[in-house]
Amino acid sequence: MKMRTPLKNVRRLGSAHEGADHFWLQRLTSVSSLILTIFLVGLVIRLVGADYATAKATLSSPAVALLLLLLVLSGIIHMRIGMQVIIEDYVHHEVLKVLSLMLNTFFCYSVAAASIWAILKLSFGA
């Protein structure tokens, strides 16, 4: 049985134009998300049952705001490339796949934009 495919003739990074970038970015953001999610769980537990003034004061403190911004950044990258893999695994129709991948990016960046806007408004808003 012939096991070889024309793939062996691919030069440099091939048509994907990348090597282990995707793999590495998923690992990198998994470690950052791990640390930042532990912080988030602690934050949410602290704020359970808190009134608005307490919640606003906590969420607008510099350390909390910065860690939340980092969490949004790390989490959004992680979930965008994670969902990309799911789409590539299950959506085989070319047009649907490209549309799904676009929607994935739009969704992730929209959620990130809303979260970042909220964190900044809590910190700098009236």
Partner 1 sequence: MRGRQAQRPLSPHLQIYRPQVNMVMSILHRITGAGLYLGALLLAWWLVAAAAGPDYFNFVSGLFNSWLGRIVLFGFTWALFHHMLGGVRHLIWDTGRGLDIPSVNFLSWATIVLSLLLTLAVWAGALLFA
Q: Which residues of the chain form contacts with partner 1 (CB under 8 A)? A: 1-7, 27, 30-31, 33-34, 37, 40-41, 44-46, 48-49, 52, 55-56, 59, 68, 75-76, 79, 82-83, 86, 111, 114-115, 117-119, 121-122, 125
CA–CA dist 72, 29 (Å, integer): 11
Nearer to partner 1, 12 or 90 (CB): 90
Compute the least distance from the CB of residue 90 to partner 1, in Å. 10
SS (H, E, C) 28-66: HHHHHHHHHHHHHHHHHHHHCCCCHHHHHHHHCCHHHHH
Compute the least distance from the CB of residue 57 to partner 1, in Å. 11
Compute the least distance from the CB of residue 41 to partner 1, in Å. 6
CA 40 vs CA 5, 33, 47, 61, 102: distances in Å: 48, 10, 10, 14, 29
